[in-house]
Amino acid sequence: MQTVTSLKAYKANVDEALRNRFQRQALDNFAVTYPTGRANAFAGMNIAELVDKVADIKDRALGRMDELYAQFKANAEKKGIHVHLAATALDANAIIADIAKTGRATRIVKSKSMTAEETLLNHYLESEGLEVTETDLGEWIIQLRHEGPTHMVMPAIHLSRHQVADLFSEVTGKRQETEIERLVKVARRELRQKYVEADMGISGANFALADTATIGLTTNEGNARLVTTLPRIHVALVGLDKLLPSLEDALHINRVLPRNATGQQITSYVTWITGPTPCAVADSGRKEMHIVFLDNGRRALAKDPVFSQVLRCVRCGACANVCPVYRMVGGHQYGHIYIGAIGLIITYFFHGRDKAKNLVQNCINCGACKAVCAAGIDLPRLIKEIHARIQDETDHPLSSILLGKLLSHRKLFHQLLRTAQKAQAPVVGENGYLRHLPLILSKEHNFRALPPIAKTPFRERWPEIKPSVANPTQRVALFAGCVQDFVYPEQLEAGVALMARFGAAVEFPMQQSCCGLPALMMGEKAAARDVARRNILAMRGSEVDQIVTLCASCASHLKHNYPQLLADDPAMREAAERFSEKVVAFSSFMNDILEIPADAFRSSGTQTTYHAPCHLCRGMGVKHAPHELIRKAGLAFVPARGALGTLLGFTDYQITSSESLNPCSSTIRRPLAADSLAVEAAMFSRFDIATALIPSSRVAQ
């Protein structure tokens, strides 16, 4: 849980998490093995179709939320189930406490429920004098430690067996061994008596089926079945977003949920409960069953045209599994109650702006979460929307205001870069990279070694190098991006030469500027929108077939974010869509459109690997074109482990972040290249290993 409000205090907590070596190793081990397990679980299945179906099922159900609730309630009451609707988290807690008091229940056992975590149910019930025991092993461990979960599916993944052994020794009063099997037996022995003594069992639910008033639970431990069957009172706390029309819908979602969560084809237990069952210890001879549906903003959120998709979430936790920042700092610092990318968003809606304002600044926009989301939620976009909304509701930091204004004024921005080029000499090291950076970059960034600004930017070289192409097969406008224009102009020169060699006529509209992604990442949505307009207008006079860019981040931003930024601008909406349709990454253009032949270059056989930029492989969906170009260049392409992922530590958009990404810099041993430079490097054998990233992420040895 987030208890601090200032960014400074939050950074201190993050730095403490970074020093937790066991946690980082545990999360790293899981992050490495998870993709393989997930791929094996989905083997032979069309993941995209499955995800689209989940999204469709959830969207249709969300559109009928009130109708489905009414149907569920009517059918449930016919079966003797008591149905309650709680408007807020506090209301839900009060309803459940009242059920306990009315039913003379003092001892409660509980199965895992993120919705109960959302309402802080345990704290409330304990404050009312009730004894509450978590029975999921991980949840029981963190309850004993008085802390929240660090993952939505694996709540105690951050703890070692030695820590658990020490905890169990304290609880039992006996020294416990560190063998996992023995620790599980200790937990089983301690919890067994709790089940027998309990008056009430509280569960969550993964599904609530309106047509039969059935709730469904998917678990990997038998505790949920004991919680829902042994005590004489069963209370299920269920978010309204879990309502579905029928079992058929739930079964489809359950084809995806366990595979995406833990790489299992199905969880160990799938339990369906429809109405109270006979119960010998109950006065009436039947179990008393209550279902408390929680609103807590869900009904309003379901009607939000932008954010309603967050309610598709099936709580698989995959967005945390693949998040590079979560992998470094863990869930306690990458969430409040809900963890991972989805947590950054719904924390704002369920727990308020103050709990979310620091969290949203962690996202590095790599897109890994969106790529694995079981419900197709556009998580990176929504995180940026929340960041911008929070800043609009409060005060924009001076640094982001200045950045936004600077990027909105091309001439001023470019003049500043030219001035910086002249002033950079004192901070350029012997290896040609910048050290001891200016104060605009905080001390947390002192691990960086940035390339210097070029003496002559590409735009000033253009009149001299512009090639003449007779009978071109393609006419393209080159979008440079500020980094390649002013830092790596040689990349653009090489790219232009290659395009011209294979029949493309290239134009370079001089009024273009930075793509605007840094402004969007800093929460300056208005500035990002203004930059988008200016760049579209700069390209409008060029009658071209394609808009080619060598920067993967620019490509993804131009193609996907420009139409979204200008969707509400009647004067620019159609222009943004036409602009977006023409945007293509350099490697795709060379391989798929110009179709350069395999015999165009001399073969060297040099073994070459490639690390795809996040915004190329995920944002643009370009995965194979760079590999093909490397092979066509006569090089032996060798796939690298994790080549479609994030090399941490090199985003330039989050200048307020902690040094959470610093340690990764020590793992990079060769200069990194951009999309185009990887191709150029491969073609001309400049590197034994060509590793690609966005150009702004290049680091020194």
SS3 269: strand
Domains and CATH numbers, the chain: 80-300 (3.40.50.10420), 443-697 (no CATH)
Which pLDDT belongs to residue 428? 79
- Percent of the chain beyond pLDDT 90? 76
- Per-residue model confidence as pLDDT tens digits over 177-219: 999 999 999 999 999 999 999 999 999 999 999 999 999 999 9
Q: Which helix (H) or strand (E) holds 244?
A: strand 243-244
- Per-residue model confidence as pLDDT tens digits over 63-119: 999 999 999 999 999 999 999 999 999 999 999 999 999 999 999 999 999 999 999
| Sign of torsion over alpha carbons 647, 652, 653, 658 | positive
- How far apart, in Å, do the first and last CA atoms of the chain sit? 39
Q: Residue 277: name the closest of 216, 229, 218 by CA.
A: 229
- Per-residue model confidence as pLDDT tens digits over 584-639: 999 999 999 999 998 888 888 888 888 888 999 999 999 999 999 988 888 888 88
Q: What is the mean pLDDT of residues 634-652?
A: 63
- Per-residue model confidence as pLDDT tens digits over 444-472: 555 566 788 899 999 999 999 999 999 99
DSSP assignments along 661-685, one per residue: GGGGGGG--S--B-HHHHHHHHHTT
Helices (H), 432-571: 458-465, 482-486, 489-501, 517-521, 525-540, 552-556, 562-565
For the cut 80, the answer to whether the pLDDT of residue 650 exceeds it is no
- For residues 342 and 409, the answer to whether their CB atoms sit within 8 Å is no
- Per-residue model confidence as pLDDT tens digits over 208-254: 999 999 999 999 998 999 999 999 999 999 999 999 999 999 999 99
Burial class from Cβ neighbours inside 10 Å (0-12, 13-18, 19+) for residue 508 reads: buried
Q: Residue 201: name the closest of 279, 154, 132, 260 by CA.
A: 132
Q: What is the mean pLDDT of residues 474-481?
A: 96
- For residues 139 and 223, the answer to whether their CB atoms sit within 8 Å is no
Token pair recorded at residue 300: 């309003």
**Separation CA 589–CA 549 (nearest Å):** 9
Other C-beta atoms closer than 10 Å to the C-beta of 439 total 6
- Per-residue model confidence as pLDDT tens digits over 560-592: 999 999 999 999 999 999 999 999 999 999 999
| Sign of torsion over alpha carbons 388, 392, 398, 403 | positive
**Separation CA 459–CA 489 (nearest Å):** 8
Token pair recorded at residue 654: 């989050």
Q: Which helix (H) or strand (E) holds 182?
A: helix 180-197
- For residues 508 and 480, the answer to whether their CB atoms sit within 8 Å is yes
Which pLDDT belongs to residue 78? 97
**Separation CA 316–CA 258 (nearest Å):** 7
- Per-residue model confidence as pLDDT tens digits over 382-420: 999 999 999 999 888 888 899 899 999 999 999 988 988
Provide the 8-state DSSP code for 394. Answer: S
Q: What is the mean pLDDT of the chain?
A: 89
pTM (2 d.p.): 0.88
Q: Residue type for 61, please? A: A
Q: Residue type for 559, please? A: K
DSSP assignments along 290-355, one per residue: EEEEE-TTHHHHHT-TTTGGGGG-----HHHHT-HHHHHH-TTSSBSSSBHHHHHHHHHHHH-HHH
